[in-house]
Amino acid sequence: FLFLMIRRPPSSTQGVSSAASDVYKRQVQDAFVNPAAGSKDIDEISSKNAQLEALDKEFQDLLQHISGDENLEKYRSEYEKLYKAFRKSFENEKRLVKHCKDLSENIITNAASVKAALEMSQEDSNTIKRLKKEIEKAWQFVEKAREKEEKSKKMVTDLKSEIVN
């Protein structure tokens, strides 16, 4: 039979400072940050379809073999229930794997969008700094022009008073 396991850290490694826990966390983070790191497990699960078909054939053969024996009817019924549960579990796992792949693609797309937004934000920040400097220079220019204007007005006033005298 095909048994699928979900990787979990052992209960003894769940502590915050455990080295094994840190390794597990890194593996999980790598699977999300670097989807290629987690794609090996996903691809392995995806490639189990051929094995599942072989199991289906074996299941059907076994059912045909024991279908005529009333002594084995109880076992056949339980075996069918177990096999149906197994199939349902396998199909759910395939659905979840596909969903994980879709989510990984979304994460990559969103990460690219976030990176672009951060770059734009940085560019905007640089533009704001540059424009603030330009505004500061313009205000300095205005202040100098105002000072020149006041000097010129004083000079005009002084010249007018000289002419009158």
pLDDT per residue as tens digits for the range 39-79: 555 556 556 777 888 888 888 888 888 887 888 888 888 88
| pLDDT value of position 22 | 53
Residue tagged 């734009």 (tokens): 120
Task: Give the distance from CA 144 to its chain's centroid.
Answer: 54
Name the token pair of 53: 């078909």
DSSP assignment letter at 22: H
pLDDT of the residue at 47: 61
Question: What residues of the chain score a pLDDT lower than 70?
Answer: 1-47
C-alpha 115/C-alpha 93 separation (Å) is 32
The angle formed by the CA atoms of residues 83, 87 and 93, to the nearest 5 degrees, is 140
Name the one residue in this structure whose structure tokens are 């177990």: 82
Phi and psi at 69, nearest 5°, equal: -90, 115
- What pLDDT sits at residue 1? 42
Q: Whole-prediction pTM value?
A: 0.46
